[in-house]
């Protein structure tokens, strides 16, 4: 079979693939620090040149920030767009690294060989799995696997300020039948997974104001309203005794799991006791009638991320503060409307203000959830391909966090995204000593070859 030849080629040339990844990892493409602007441009051109060598019509495209890399390889079959990002997180604190973060190496660990270096897992190692699969395919077949577009970003780690304008400007060029994203991981380190649910995110900051200045609690305590007490009452009201969020209309658009997906999740045998035990907890909180895995992947939340006011320094100061503050985030699922939730949340807060108090709000983003249409046969084909490669049944899973690019593909380009990644929970992305298992890199390349064999033709 031609696929067998591609897989054999991947195995034979793994050292060469690793050398190319090491070359990319040596480029310190830190997007958040202007001092590394030239390095980001260098990483973009490195990737564009590599893609051109494979037969893509590829170039590094300028933006007001760091370049985008876009490559096209026209062919027959379904048009697939692959997305990854070449920028990396800062390396601070440098003294906690065991080696130079931009001098990558393969290291032996008790759990096997790992690729150590900044960006090895997030996301250079992951994006190179797809490119290396294309390279092996080209060698065996003489052509790339179907109608492909490669789209690589250089600002993912700094909030993607250029992404939406670039996608809107190049909508016709970037639109495809399906997007492929490699920036996720295995479930509990061993189970291959396709993320089909991404929670959206709404951020709100509120400031409760009362007196014109901080007041002496002995002189004014009692008759003067305390903004912290008002804020505490508001926060306490946001959940009922069963853990449900009380914002009016909050659950509008929240959908139940299908029987198929629920069965897959149950088969994962998620150990919530170990999950919580690793961070010193024991009892699941949240909605009482939901499993912990449901809470993480398919249920919306309201959480207080920060609260402050009054005197918080050393010692004691008997003061009634003039202001109290909180930051509150909502993770959203299904078809929840973040702007409607913001409107209802603010109305609820205002309704609870006593006389002499006022509130100011500041928003911190509002993105809807992403839910992929797994009735598309490509999703089941990819799941079977991953099962064959990893020797364990792959699963459609959710993601507790938010991956905005998947939502942008839907809202701007009108296509679903298939999120397949091979990272592990201990990869230490965004932390010192980031790593990517050599097995993840190797089997990741083989996985993409299998997926492309099933869906690209």
pLDDT at 402 over 80: no
pLDDT of residue 1: 64
Q: What is the mean pLDDT of the chain?
A: 96
Average pLDDT over residues 313-319: 94
- Measured in whole angstroms, the distance separating CA 211 from the mean position of its chain's CA atoms is 42
Q: Look up tokens 């909050």; give the residue.
A: 250
Show the tokens assigned to 231. Answer: 């804020």
CB 364 within 8 A of CB 327: yes
d(C-alpha 239, C-alpha 241), whole Å? 7
N residues, the chain: 457
Average pLDDT over residues 10-31: 98
Instruction: Please choose, from the candidates 267, 129, 119, the residue with its C-alpha nearest in 3D space to the C-alpha of residue 188.
Output: 267
Q: State percent of the chain over pLDDT 90.
A: 92
pLDDT at 284 over 70: yes
Tell me the pLDDT tens digit for each residue of 102-111.
999 999 999 9
Binned at pLDDT 50, 70 and 90, residue 74 comes out as confident
Tell me the pLDDT tens digit for each residue of 21-55.
999 999 999 999 999 999 999 999 999 999 999 99
Which range has the worst mean pLDDT, 84-88, 289-293, 389-393, 402-406?
A: 402-406
Burial class (CB in 10 A: 0-12, 13-18, 19+), 235: middle
d(C-alpha 421, C-alpha 288), whole Å? 31
Pairs from 245-251 (Cβ < 8 Å, separation ≥ 24)? 245/300, 245/301, 245/302, 245/330, 246/348, 247/302, 247/341, 247/344, 247/345, 247/348, 248/344, 248/347, 248/348, 249/340, 249/341, 249/344, 250/300, 250/302, 250/336, 250/341, 250/344, 251/300, 251/336
d(C-alpha 420, C-alpha 196), whole Å? 10
Average pLDDT over residues 283-296: 94
Show the tokens assigned to 403. Answer: 């991956």
Instruction: Please choose, from the candidates 56, 57, 102, 87, the residue with its C-alpha nearest in 3D space to the C-alpha of residue 152.
Output: 87
d(C-alpha 62, C-alpha 52), whole Å? 17
Average pLDDT over residues 118-129: 98
Tell me the pLDDT tens digit for each residue of 132-170.
999 999 999 999 999 999 999 999 999 899 999 999 999
pLDDT at 20 over 90: yes
Domains of the chain in start order, with CATH, are: 2-198+369-455 (3.40.630.10), 200-254+300-367 (3.30.70.360)
pLDDT of residue 400: 85
d(C-alpha 112, C-alpha 364), whole Å? 41
Instruction: Please choose, from the candidates 300, 372, 359, 357, the residue with its C-alpha nearest in 3D space to the C-alpha of residue 331.
Output: 300
Q: b/e string for 304-340 if b means 16 or more Cβ within 10 A? A: eeeeebbeeeeeeeebbbbbbbbbbbbbbbbebbbee
d(C-alpha 455, C-alpha 194), whole Å? 15
Q: State percent of the chain over pLDDT 70.
A: 100
d(C-alpha 237, C-alpha 338), whole Å? 20
User: Which stretches does DSSP call E strand in 189-269?
Assistant: 193-198, 200-209, 215-216
pLDDT at 83 over 70: yes
Average pLDDT over residues 284-298: 94
pLDDT of residue 109: 97
d(C-alpha 356, C-alpha 352), whole Å? 12
β-sheet bridge partners, residue 60: 69
pTM flag (> 0.75):
yes
Tell me the pLDDT tens digit for each residue of 353-398.
999 999 999 999 888 888 898 999 999 999 999 999 999 999 999 9
pLDDT of residue 367: 84
């Amino acid at each position: 079979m031609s696929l067998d030849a591609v897989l054999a080629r991947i195995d034979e040339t793994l050292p060469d693939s690793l050398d190319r990844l090491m070359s990319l990892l040596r480029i310190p493409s830190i997007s958040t620090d202007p001092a590394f602007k030239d390095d980001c441009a260098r990483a973009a051109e490195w990737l564009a040149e590599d893609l051109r060598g494979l037969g893509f019509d590829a170039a590094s495209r300028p933006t007001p920030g760091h370049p985008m890399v876009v490559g096209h390889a026209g062919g027959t079959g379904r048009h697939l767009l692959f997305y990854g990002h070449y920028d990396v997180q800062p390396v601070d604190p440098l003294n906690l690294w065991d080696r130079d973060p931009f001098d990558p190496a393969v290291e032996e660990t008790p759990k096997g060989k790992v690729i150590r270096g900044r960006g090895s897992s997030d996301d250079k190692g992951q994006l190179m799995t797809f490119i290396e699969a294309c390279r092996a395919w080209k060698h065996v077949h003489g052509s790339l696997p179907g109608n492909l577009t490669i789209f690589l970003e250089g600002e993912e780690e700094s909030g993607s300020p250029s992404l939406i304008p670039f996608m809107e400007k190049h909508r016709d060029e970037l639109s495809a039948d399906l997007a492929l994203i490699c920036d996720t991981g295995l479930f509990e380190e061993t189970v291959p997974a396709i993320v089909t649910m991404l929670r959206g995110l709404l951020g709100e900051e509120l400031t409760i104001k009362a007196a014109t200045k901080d007041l002496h609690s002995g002189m004014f305590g009692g008759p003067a309203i305390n903004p912290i007490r008002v804020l505490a009452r508001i926060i306490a009201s946001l959940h009922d005794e069963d853990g449900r969020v009380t914002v009016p209309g909050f659950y509008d658009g929240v959908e139940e799991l299908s029987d198929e997906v629920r069965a897959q999740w149950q088969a994962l045998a998620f150990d919530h006791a170990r999950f919580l035990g690793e961070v010193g907890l024991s009892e699941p909180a949240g909605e009482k009638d939901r499993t912990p895995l449901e809470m993480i992947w398919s249920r919306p939340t309201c959480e207080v991320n920060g609260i402050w006011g009054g005197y918080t320094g050393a010692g004691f100061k008997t003061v009634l503060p003039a202001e109290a503050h909180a930051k509150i985030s909502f993770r959203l699922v299904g078809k929840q409307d973040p702007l409607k939730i913001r409107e209802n949340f603010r109305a609820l807060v205002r309704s609870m203000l006593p006389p002499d108090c006022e509130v100011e709000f500041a928003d911190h983003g509002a993105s809807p959830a992403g839910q992929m249409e797994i009735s598309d046969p490509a999703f089941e084909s990819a799941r079977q391909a991953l099962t064959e490669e990893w020797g364990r049944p792959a699963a459609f899973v959710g993601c507790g966090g938010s991956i905005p690019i998947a939502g942008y593909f839907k809202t701007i380009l009108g296509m679903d995204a298939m999120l397949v990644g091979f990272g592990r929970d201990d990869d230490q992305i965004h932390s010192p000593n980031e790593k990517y298992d050599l097995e993840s890199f190797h089997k990741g390349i083989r996985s993409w070859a299998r997926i492309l064999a099933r869906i690209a033709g």
